[in-house]
């Protein structure tokens, strides 16, 4: 299966680098500056410093050059996915499209697979998610991901095409669970970063991760996800990684909030928009998600870390 990658951010470039070890891969970028750098210098230094693009990786600024690819990995931010699908509908309709973003669309409350299906009914949508940092994938470090696709045959074909010696892909048909795991863990990572940034300690972070996971399962099951999906790579696995490493942009945002420091507004942090979207959805469903509500208040500036922690600790005692 020939692969094309749409989006030249760190994750898209890393996937293209890893998959080029198996065969030809084409990477599309809308940035003329990035295109020139990658074509001439064989690097994407701003996004993946120290990584050389392999010879089997071709770079283009014309989406038509991906017409021969049997599957396209859409490595764009969640909040920009719908715009890409609408703008490039003629080139993408009817294709096998694998979303590589994690989040919930702010305006609709939908995940990436749902957005693809809505925008392009003839496409075959899937999702690649799980505990991974772009730098690790690009350097060829061992990584395991989840490929979620409702169609068994398409999922099996993608699993084989996207697996390498160092990139192990598991598959599931539970697209809802995979979507929610990848989205909600970002919200919990902001909470954990805030706790650590404020100096509240490792014990507090462990408590937030555990109770945050309970929130993920609570909402996921209510929306039709399988609990075992959320216990896997796309849920618990990604939660463990993102809540404990400063490589995570969501965790770094939380750190800056906890420390009372400014955060670079040009850095995409999916968890901030996801917290707002999930809070609205869960309130409408009558589902209690106190940590998500707290993160919503933090990223909006409505409350301080001291105020939200006081509210969380003052909640009524109950069985676990």
In the block, which residue shows the tokens 């795991």? 181
Residue environment code for 231-247, b if the CB has 16+ CB neighbours within 10 A, otherwise e: bbbbbbbbbebbbbeee
Residue 149 falls within a domain, yes or no? yes
CATH number of the domain at 127, please.
3.40.50.720
pLDDT exceeds 90 at position 268? no
Contact 120, 92 (CB under 8 A): yes
Q: Is 281 a catalytic residue?
A: no
What does R_g of the chain's alpha carbons equal in angstroms? 19
Which of these three, 130, 146, 173, is where a domain ends? 173
Same domain? 169 vs 193: no
Same domain? 139 vs 188: no
Same domain? 257 vs 200: yes
What's the mean pLDDT when you consider all of the chain? Answer: 96
Percent of the chain with pLDDT over 90: 97
Residue 14 falls within a domain, yes or no? yes
Q: Which of 102, 185, 281, 318 is catalytic?
A: 185
Residue 298 falls within a domain, yes or no? yes
Same domain? 298 vs 219: yes
Residue 320 falls within a domain, yes or no? no
pLDDT exceeds 90 at position 248? yes
Which of these three, 152, 173, 194, is where a domain ends? 173
Which of these three, 173, 204, 231, is where a domain ends? 173
The average pLDDT across 242-254 equals 97
**Residue 173 has which token pair?**
């048909």
Same domain? 11 vs 117: yes
pLDDT exceeds 90 at position 312? yes
The total domain count for the chain is 2
| pLDDT tens by residue, 15-35 | 999 999 999 999 999 999 999
Same domain? 169 vs 184: no
The average pLDDT across 166-189 equals 97
| pLDDT tens by residue, 117-170 | 999 999 999 999 999 999 999 999 999 999 999 999 999 999 999 999 999 999
**Main-chain phi, psi angles of 127, to 5 degrees:** -140, 130
Residue 319 falls within a domain, yes or no? no
CATH number of the domain at 229, please.
1.10.1040.10
Contact 289, 218 (CB under 8 A): yes
Domain that holds residue 295: 180-313
Residue 83 falls within a domain, yes or no? yes
Helix (H, G, I), strand (E, B) or coil at 197: helix
| pLDDT tens by residue, 64-96 | 999 999 999 999 999 999 999 999 999 999 999
Same domain? 161 vs 306: no
Question: Cα–Cα–Cα angle for 141, 144, 148, nearest 5°?
Answer: 145
**Residue 36 has which token pair?**
């020139």
Same domain? 106 vs 125: yes
Instruction: Report the pLDDT value the prediction gives residue 292, as an integer from 0 to 100.
Output: 97
Same domain? 162 vs 210: no
Same domain? 164 vs 195: no
Same domain? 231 vs 102: no
Residue 318 falls within a domain, yes or no? no
Confidence of residue 46 (pLDDT cuts 50, 70, 90): confident
Task: List CB contacts of 221: < 8 A, sequence separation 6 or more.
Answer: 227
Residue 211 falls within a domain, yes or no? yes
Same domain? 157 vs 214: no
What is the pTM for the complete model shown? 0.94
Confidence of residue 266 (pLDDT cuts 50, 70, 90): confident
């Amino acid at each position: 299966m020939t692969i094309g990658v749409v989006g030249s951010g760190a994750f898209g470039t890393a996937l293209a680098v890893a998959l080029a070890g198996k065969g030809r891969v084409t990477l599309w970028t809308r940035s003329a500056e990035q295109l020139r750098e990658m074509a001439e210098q064989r690097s994407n230094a701003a996004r993946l410093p120290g990584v050389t693009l392999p010879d089997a990786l071709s770079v283009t600024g014309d989406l038509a050059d991906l017409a021969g690819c049997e599957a396209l990995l859409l490595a764009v931010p969640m909040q920009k996915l719908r715009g890409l699908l609408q703008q490039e509908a003629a080139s993408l309709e009817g294709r096998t499209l694998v979303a590589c973003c994690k989040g919930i669309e702010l305006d609709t409350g939908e995940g990436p697979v749902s957005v693809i299906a809505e925008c392009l009914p003839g496409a075959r949508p899937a999702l690649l998610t799980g505990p991974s940092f772009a730098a690790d994938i690009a350097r060829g470090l061992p990584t395991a991901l989840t490929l979620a696709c409702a169609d068994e045959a398409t999922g099996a074909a993608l699993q084989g095409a996207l697996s390498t010696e160092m990139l192990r892909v598991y598959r599931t048909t539970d697209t809802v669970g995979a979507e929610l795991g990848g989205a909600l863990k970002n919200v919990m990572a902001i909470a954990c970063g805030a706790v650590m940034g404020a100096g509240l300690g490792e014990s507090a972070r462990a408590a937030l991760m555990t109770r945050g996971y309970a929130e993920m399962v609570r909402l996921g099951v209510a929306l039709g996800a399988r609990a075992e999906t959320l216990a896997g790579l796309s849920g618990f696995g990604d939660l463990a990684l993102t809540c404990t490493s400063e490589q995570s942009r969501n965790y770094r945002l939380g750190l800056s909030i906890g420390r009372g420091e400014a955060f670079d507004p040009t850095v995409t942090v999916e968890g901030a928009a996801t917290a707002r979207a999930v809070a609205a959805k869960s309130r409408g469903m009558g589902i209690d998600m106190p940590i998500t509500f707290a993160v919503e208040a933090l990223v909006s500036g409505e409350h301080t870390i001291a105020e939200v922690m006081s509210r969380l600790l003052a909640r009524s005692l109950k069985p676990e």
